[in-house]
């Protein structure tokens, strides 16, 4: 388990570092203005669908059903063909009704801005089919306990965007965002190529070939598998997408605020996603296939033991990241983003938004691993119920806070909804089961000492830095 978590974390860390380099260049070249907002919105729509259908609902429904299926090759190919057709039709609709789709995600934009953004939405949406294919292949690789390709391949998208930004330095803002949009498609193509190579090396291509050849004559053999997948998938769309939908809603509401608000949310959320990805998402991805296998083979105690180890590892790592993110919010934003078109005022607002996001790091991260129990036991409907309640909480709080706290209030609302997600997830996992994991005197004592020392050292070091850095 530790090896898989380390591989996943290191790969995601590498991808996030290249992501920060991309954000660094983007902030320097474009700053926080209407063109940055336009690109973020254009990329947000395919990225939202990717996370909901690809990373969230698909993976959480596919892996448990795939693990249980006796006709794995036929089942896998059948699911891929269905999704490919659906996404192809959706992409064609975006081509035809690009302005209408753009209004859906940024109806606070003026008509002129919508016209500027809609061609970019079309270009970026091509990424969706590419990245779904990547997610499908990644699910097969995860089942075989191969995580490196998926973890590292995200860097290919970032590297593609970095090259586009470097080549576009002396161009107009409009030309830059077009080049970045084409780079998104190129990056997605490179990710797909990397996964195809891994599938070939692990000889999973043979299984897929058998599935394509046999699907017409033997599709009746997977009826129960398809029913099981369909039953969980719709619920998983809701259950696995709270954070993504929350960020999506934040962007819509931010489009009504001053120019640059979407960018502040974007940059702060990117920084928040860094520890969430390299710790919580990496851990969840690494242990999910095994948790699903243990539960499907009636070895629940082994699954609980894996969750316990993961919980304590995450509690230490996420708590450390939370303290660092809150205490050094201004310094982090200043170091990574403040240069070129990204000014001191942008740093102050972005750091305030970051603090609000960091409040939700622990609940979102811990809920991530305990939700695996619900998906592995085919309780996607319960996960969906939890997610809906959390999402409604986020919407109500966002509408309540936006008038008083502006963009900062949107981030705070998102974090508070994370606490709702956490408490309800633990409730359905089982309060007693969670207390069995939590009540460990040795770990509790070490944790209290660790977090106290972290806070003291962080505040001391911040005082030392303040003597040299004026923020």
Q: Quote the number of domains for the chain.
A: 1
CA-wise closest residue to 307 among 292, 324, 329, 328: 292
pLDDT band at 318 (very low <50, low <70, confident <90, very high): very high
Asked, for residue 471, whether it belongs to a domain, the answer is no
pLDDT band at 225 (very low <50, low <70, confident <90, very high): confident
108: helix, strand or coil: coil
Domain that holds residue 287: 2-466
Whether 165 has a pLDDT exceeding 70, the answer reads yes
| Measured CA distances, 206 to 126, 211, 213 (Å) | 28, 9, 11
Count each helix (H run) and each strand (E run) in the chain, helices first.
22, 0
Asked, for residue 221, whether it belongs to a domain, the answer is yes
Mean pLDDT of 347-354: 92
Which pLDDT score is estimated for 469?
63
Asked, for residue 136, whether it belongs to a domain, the answer is yes
pTM above 0.75, yes or no: no
Which pLDDT score is estimated for 431?
92
* Angle made by CA atoms 265, 270, 271, in degrees to the nearest 5: 105
pLDDT band at 30 (very low <50, low <70, confident <90, very high): confident
Asked, for residue 66, whether it belongs to a domain, the answer is yes
- pLDDT, tens digit, 9 for 90 and up, residues 40-75: 877 876 776 666 655 566 777 788 888 778 888 888
pLDDT band at 107 (very low <50, low <70, confident <90, very high): low
Asked, for residue 322, whether it belongs to a domain, the answer is yes
Which pLDDT score is estimated for 55?
53
pLDDT band at 4 (very low <50, low <70, confident <90, very high): low
Residue with tokens 């161009």: 171
Which pLDDT score is estimated for 53?
58
CA-wise closest residue to 25 among 178, 182, 177, 166: 166
The region that residue 333 occupies, defined by phi over 0 for left and psi between -120 and 50 for alpha, beta otherwise, is alpha
Which pLDDT score is estimated for 272?
92
């Amino acid at each position: 388990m530790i090896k898989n978590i380390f591989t996943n974390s290191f790969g995601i860390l590498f991808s996030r570092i290249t992501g920060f380099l991309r954000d660094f260049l983007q902030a320097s070249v474009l700053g926080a203005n209407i063109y940055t907002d336009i690109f973020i919105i254009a990329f947000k729509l395919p990225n939202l669908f990717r996370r909901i259908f690809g990373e969230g609902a698909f993976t959480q429904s596919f892996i448990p059903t795939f693990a249980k299926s006796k006709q794995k090759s036929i089942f896998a190919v059948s699911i891929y063909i269905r999704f490919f057709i659906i996404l192809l039709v959706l992409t064609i609709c975006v081509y035809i009704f690009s302005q209408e789709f753009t209004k859906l995600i940024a109806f606070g934009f003026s008509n002129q801005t919508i016209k500027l953004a809609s061609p970019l939405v079309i270009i970026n949406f091509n990424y969706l089919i590419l990245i779904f294919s990547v997610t499908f292949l990644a699910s097969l690789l995860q089942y075989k306990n191969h995580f490196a390709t998926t973890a590292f391949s995200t860097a290919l998208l970032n590297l593609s965007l970095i090259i586009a930004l470097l080549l576009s330095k002396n161009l107009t803002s409009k030309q830059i965002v077009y080049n970045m949009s084409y780079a998104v498609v190129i990056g997605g193509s490179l990710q797909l190529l990397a996964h195809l190579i891994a599938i070939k090396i692990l000889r999973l291509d043979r299984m897929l070939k058998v599935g394509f050849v046999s699907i017409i004559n033997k599709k009746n053999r997977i009826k129960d598998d398809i029913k099981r997948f369909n039953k969980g998938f719709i619920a998983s769309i809701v259950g696995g997408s709270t954070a993504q939908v929350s960020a999506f809603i934040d962007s819509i509401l931010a489009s009504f605020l001053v120019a640059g608000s979407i960018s502040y949310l974007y940059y702060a959320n990117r920084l928040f996603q860094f520890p969430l990805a390299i710790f919580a998402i990496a851990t969840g991805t690494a242990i999910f296939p095994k948790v699903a296998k243990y539960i499907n083979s009636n070895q629940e105690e082994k699954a609980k033991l894996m969750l316990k180890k993961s919980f304590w590892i995450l509690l230490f790592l996420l708590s450390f990241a939370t303290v660092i993110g809150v205490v050094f919010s201004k310094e982090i934003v200043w170091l990574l983003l403040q240069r070129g078109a990204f000014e001191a005022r942008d740093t102050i607002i972005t750091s305030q938004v970051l603090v609000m996001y960091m409040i939700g790091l622990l609940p979102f991260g811990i809920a991530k691993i305990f939700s695996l129990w619900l998906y592995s036991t085919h309780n996607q409907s319960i996960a969906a119920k939890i997610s809906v309640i959390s999402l409604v909480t986020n919407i109500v709080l966002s509408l309540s806070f936006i008038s008083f706290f502006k963009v900062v209030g949107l981030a705070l609302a998102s974090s508070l909804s994370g606490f709702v997600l956490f408490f309800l997830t633990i409730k359905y996992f089982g309060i007693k089961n969670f207390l069995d994991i939590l009540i460990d005197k040795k770990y509790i004592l070490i944790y209290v000492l660790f977090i106290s020392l972290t806070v003291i050292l962080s505040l001391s070091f911040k005082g030392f830095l303040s003597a040299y850095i004026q923020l």
